[in-house]
Chain A
Amino acid sequence: MSVYVASILTNMALISFLALSAYLVLVVGVVSFGQQAFFGVGAYVTATVTSIYGGHAVTGVFIGMLSGAACALVLAILTVRLSGLYFAISTLCFAELCRLGLLQVRAPFDIDGRTTGPDGPEGFSNIRWIFEHNYSVQDFLVLTTVCLVALLGLLFLLERSRIMLRARLVGQDSILAQSLGLRPILYRIVFVTLSGGVAGFGGGLFALFNTYIEPNMFGVMLGVHGLAYAVIGGLGAPIGPLIGVAIDIGLLESIRAISAYRMIAFGGLVALLLILLPQGLISPRFVARMRRWRKLFHV
């Protein structure tokens, strides 16, 4: 596999973490424009742990994931009484606050004659863990894919659990869910926190793979893309957001002839899908129908 193909596939896997984190928030019935913040926090924390403190990548990504989750928990608690549009706006503000905050953090370190550490708009360079441990792009693709498949496995288990079923009740109608004795606030806090962990994990891998990160990588457009993948993919199953990623990056960006028009094509596609399939490709309705067919088949 060529380095080019491997790096495209790795990028697809990395952005899938962001799309899945957006999915987890959508499941409980709110929209977040701020998942990129958790992705960015995960990336910065992982970079700090591995490059400045010399930690192992696993440690780095793990702490990155926890940091993403912690940020998300804070945000979820602060926004607990906000609904719909107000929640969406506050997530966006939170993400911009994180990005602008990171632009102000200047703490460059000199390690083995190389400058590393966060340096405001100059970014965080020389995240050399994968070089030092001789990971090729192809190796890293395998690593990222394994992590993504593991996450999908966990999400499928979650999907079969009562927790997910109830989260979906809350997402569909939070008042009705309350009248049945559920606590929508609790589900929202848990799922937003989980989403922060997933995004932070992906961000950590992103930092290791990219070897250089800067605050402006984690701007609004990144979050909007993650959200768009989840929306066009649909909320029926965790595979939905991955299909969204595959359509945008896999199809549009990779075919070089049309890659220049990618944003136009993707924007058009999102608009078209929202008109034709407002629930996304793998919608809850689609999943319910599949389940019913499967049942009929067995009987």
Chain B
Amino acid sequence: MLSINNLETSYGLIKALKGVSLDAAEGEVTCILGPNGAGKTTLMFTLSGIIKPDAGSIDFFGTSLTGLAAPKVLREGLALVPENRLVFPLMSVRENLLAGAYTRNRSDKDEVEADIEKMFARFPVLKERQEQNAGTLSGGEQQMLALARALMSRPKMLLLDEPSVGLAPVIVNEVFAIIKQLKEDGLSIVLVEQNVVKALEVADHFYLLDQGRVTFAGTPGEMENDDVIKRAYLGGG
């Protein structure tokens, strides 16, 4: 499980995270909501080691990830699917998947191949297009590829940064169906979303992030009954 305590991250003088604490339990989907600029992506980058925190701690299955560089975080089993930068467009679908296995490639080639076949079974459209340049895939297919590529590192927990952004509603449904499936397979997921209605379908726990602070934490039921959230995210009063 992932446990974050009083995490602070800044860009120069601007503090983006002002003491964020949250827990993500094993086998659950933990959803982080928040408006633009709340610090959601900063939190994802800090967790995955792309940015270093100023203070606070990150604990992952008993190991401290605080201040670790990205490759080490990934080796510990925490993988990020960043928002909006889904694939390497000039590389084929297969090469993109192989890039996801970067941390393990050398020793177990056969297993990597087997995993690629597993991904093709889960995402049939990727199998059809395995030799195609990833840049020629549709937005939804690219999101699938990004998910599959992150899974290639065999993570214990997946960080998904707004997987539904910029996708057509039908495709959003597909993406969430996959998230549900991954959860059923026992994968722990931290999901950053703005689409609260869809998030309610899969999430076990919600956190609301606003201006670098956690302003709400609770179950889906508690969230649906919270007046502020109802007004801001679910519409109506």
Contacts and interface: CB of A to CB of B under 8 A. Distances in A.
Interface in A75-131: none
Interface residues of A, number: 19
A283 to B, nearest CB: 9
A173 B100 CA distance: 14
Contacts of A288: 90-92, 133
B80 interface: yes
Contact of B69 (A176, A179, A183): A183
Interface stretch (B14-22, B70-78, B173-181, B189-197): B70-78
A164 to B, nearest CB: 13
B85 interface: yes
A180 B153 contact: yes
B153 to A, nearest CB: 7
B88 interface: yes
Contacts of A182: 70-71, 102
Contact of B75 (A178, A181, A183, A295): A181
Contact of A285 (B74, B81, B90, B131): B90
Given A180-B100, A181-B153, A288-B133, A172 B90 contact: yes
Nearest to B71: A181
B66 interface: no
Contact of A178 (B70, B103, B133): B70
B92 A179 contact: no
Contacts, number: 60
B135 to A, nearest CB: 9
Interface in A265-299: 284-285, 288, 292, 295
A102 to B, nearest CB: 36
A175 B83 CA distance: 10
B100 to A, nearest CB: 6
A162 B112 CA distance: 16
B30 interface: no
17 contacts: A165-B99, A173-B85, A173-B88, A175-B50, A179-B48, A180-B99, A180-B149, A181-B70, A182-B71, A182-B102, A183-B69, A284-B90, A285-B90, A288-B90, A288-B91, A288-B133, A295-B131
Q: Which 9 residue pairs spanning A and B have beta carbons closest together?
A: A181-B74, A181-B71, A178-B70, A181-B103, A179-B80, A176-B85, A284-B90, A178-B50, A181-B102
Given A179-B50, A182-B102, 19 more contacts: A165-B99, A166-B102, A172-B88, A172-B89, A175-B85, A176-B88, A178-B49, A179-B48, A179-B82, A180-B99, A180-B100, A180-B102, A180-B149, A182-B70, A183-B69, A288-B91, A288-B133, A292-B131, A295-B131
Interface of B: 45, 48-50, 69-71, 74-75, 79-82, 85, 88-92, 95, 99-100, 102-103, 105, 131, 133, 149-150, 153
